[in-house]
Structure 1
């Protein structure tokens, strides 16, 4: 049970006595200074959290900068821009400015990003396509900085708030559409094997195929990055299969992969959708403008950004009894990149 305190001076004195640290060391930890050992920092952060230094309602103090931090691994796709637009819209409603931070490689993020967040002391943090370690969660909570993950990379810890979408349903709808058109040799290109959204879309694909009594040849399932190059490379492999194994339709796990698949089809001399049907995922702003316009699963990216921002702001003012989780609905948007098979 957390101890309610009457003021920062008393709280810091109690923390200093409990941890055997000086007030200056505690101040360094609170301000994100790097010149404190990891063991000392963790001991102080645990004490701050356990003793209730961050009290309910303390998140939006007058001295705190009016910032909302948005953390990406990279900013090199249209997908990112959709989310940014949603976060910025909500931040503006609340009189907040948005700070963009790039944390680097998903598997080995630059540890400096968390130090920067702590120095800036934003109202909240929205992390995209990410995971957050127990250490980083503790550091943010000890300072009253709320956080929310959008489209978590893995299965988030039960105490991590998140906003995602119905990935399984999206994969199911995309594959059922192709089956209803008459396709039987359907392949899928999905994202990295260690990402929850990739596996959920793949599970939806498998469920649709199994329900229709159609086999899923292992050769028809390919993993790659969610980028154009990832889609193009995996599609080249699929289109190089022997004629009796070559798919007549491909469900791509992202629109960027679908654009790469379109490139591979052109290289192979195939007409889309006459020779090959393609379904994407995300419904990015470019999807209606490619040739042919892309059939895709609409993922409400902008709204995901909006809801994550609202949640981060709300959590800065209150601590709900249960961890908020939100999965938004997806829907299929049929355009001109799919048609019945020619054979």
Structure 2
């Protein structure tokens, strides 16, 4: 059976091939099409079992219609983890909407910048989205310098990469502000429980402390459990000892005399908040009646603990969507003028805003 062509659809509908191509390929451009005609074209394409010929499409446009995603290999990162999966969900949603494919890139035996650049040079991908690029990574500088169509998610380094970052300072501030609204005036902070958490962790803490100062909430070092704070409780660091760290934090809070003890805890992440809450629950603290707790990220564990964890949401799906929209827009701009002649505008940098998700773990402070 002969493969259905754009011409076949155009003849059956009674319009030009250009209009059919515009609709079935979900293209941008100057062609406009009434909704009624668009629906007829799509319905006819379905009736004829039309499938786009991506090889000819790519040859004609000199584009792959593919977006690459690269996650540098390191401990604690994986396509299967919730953080990465949420971002990928957003990227995939926009790729599907724009009729793009999604390619997960492996660097094989080569260097990271060369392998990623090769994919772009060979037009295997029209743009590249990077996840988990550490701020001290040197390999991203050549990509930024070569005018590549590359966007990073949550990148805090010095390379002039286009990026969309979570507003960590606003998240830390929001956690403090929401607890203040509930009447809490003495709030502890449990920082990351692993080494080299990076600038995002520092920024969350800075936002929390700044908001506390603004609201008149005291934050002495004995209730701010973070290795960057002079006088804070010395703690080991590492994934193998995270429960031990949480036990020490919980014990330190419980050792404070009741009248001076914090009435609420903010965790650097949901995981940190959950570990401290569980350690204190085992020791007899009742949440939220005796202590409120708020995490940051709004990860899946929030609804898997009791009480369910109130959290400041990091909109990972939306961040993936925005990164994909920008990458595809830039790919189309570059194609319009020619990749070699494309003059990049100023660096694209967006800050995704947090949102407070109220659940069971944070309640209004009862009079003492």
Q: Same fold (TM over 0.5)?
A: yes
CA 63–302 in structure 1, closer or farther in 2 if over 3 Å, else same: closer
Q: Is the 8 A contact 1:166 1:329 kept in 2?
A: yes
Structure 2 distance, partners of 1:312, 1:233, is 43
Q: Structure 1 residues 248 and 228 mapped into 2: Cα distance closer, same or farther (>3 Å)?
A: farther
Contact 2:65 2:126 in 1 (8 A): yes
Partner in structure 2 of residue 120 of structure 1: 119
User: How big is the shift at 1:260?
Assistant: 2.0
The alignment status of 1:92 with 2:104, answered yes or no, reads no
Give secondary structure in 2 for the equivalent of 1:297: strand
Summarize the Cα distance change of 1:308–1:321 in structure 2 as closer, same or farther, 3 Å threshold.
same
1: CA distance between counterparts of 2:168 and 2:65?
36
From 277, 284, 288, give the equivalent of 1:269: 284
The counterpart of 1:196, out of the listed 192, 195, 199, is: 199
Q: Closer, same or farther in 2 for the Cα pair 1:226/1:88, shift >3 Å? A: farther
Aligned length: 275
SS class of match (1:250): strand
> Who is 2:81 aligned against?
77
The answer to whether structure 1 residue 292 and structure 2 residue 316 are counterparts is no
Aligned with 1:150 (options 153, 158, 163): 153
**Cα distance 1:215–1:67, how it changes in 2: closer, same or farther (>3 A)?**
closer
Give secondary structure in 1 for the equivalent of 2:152. strand
CA distance in 2, matches of 1:86, 1:204: 27
Distance (whole Å) between structure 2 residues aligned to residue 326 and residue 202 of structure 1:
20
Per-residue CA deviations over 1:95-137 (Å, capped at 9, x if unaligned) read 333333578xxxxxx9744344244332222122324756533
Q: Deviations over 1:11-34 (max 9, x none)?
A: xxxxxxxxxxxxxxxxxxxxxxxx
Gap regions ≥5 residues in structure 1 = 1-59, 104-109
Asked if 2 retains the 8 angstrom alpha-carbon contact of 1:190 and 1:226, the reply is: no
Q: Is the 8 A contact 1:68 1:91 kept in 2?
A: no
Say whether residues 1:315 and 2:316 are aligned partners.
Answer: no
Deviation at 1:271, TM superposition (A): 1.8
Offset from partner CA, 1:248-288 (integer Å, 9 cap, x none): 32111222222222322232222211122110111124423
Paired residue secondary structure (2:327): helix
Note if 1:301 corresponds to 2:316: yes
Gapped regions of structure 2 (runs ≥ 5): 1-59, 228-235, 335-342
Provide the aligned C-alpha RMSD in A. 3.3
Quote the residue 2:355 is aligned against.
331
C-alpha separation in 2, matches of 1:236 and 1:171: 23
Q: For the pair shown, which has the larger CA radius of gyration, 1 or 2?
A: 2
Q: Within 1, Cα distance between the matches of 2:283 and 2:295?
A: 19
Distance in structure 2 (CA, Å) of the matches to 1:226 and 1:252? 16
Write the distance in 2 (CA, Å) between the matches of 1:102 and 1:336.
42
Bigger shift: 162-171 or 115-124? 115-124
Cα deviation, 1:152-186, whole Å, max 9, x if unaligned, reads 2x3444x3211012222221121122223232331
User: CA 1:84/1:178 → structure 2, altered by over 3 Å: closer, same or farther?
Assistant: same
Instruction: Give the distance between the partners of 1:266 and 1:174, measured in 2 at CA.
Output: 21
Distance 1:69 1:309 in 2: 10
Distance between the aligned counterparts of 2:239 and 2:220, measured in 1?
Answer: 24
Tell me if structure 2 keeps the 8 A contact 1:226–1:254: no
- The alpha-carbon deviation at position 206 of structure 1 amounts to 0.8
Gap change, CA 1:273 and 1:77, over 3 Å in 2: farther
Helix, strand or coil for the counterpart of 2:170?
helix
TM-superposed deviation, 1:238: 2.1
1:239 equivalent in structure 2: 250
Which stretch shifts more, 314-323 or 172-181? 314-323
Matched, 1:136 2:136: no
User: Per the alignment, do residues 229 and 279 of structure 1 end up closer, same or farther by CA in structure 2, a change over 3 Å counting?
Assistant: farther
Q: Does 1:166 align with 2:163?
A: no
Cα deviation for residue 217 of structure 1 reads: 1.4
Deviations 1:135-154 (A, max 9, x none): 53325764x641111112x3
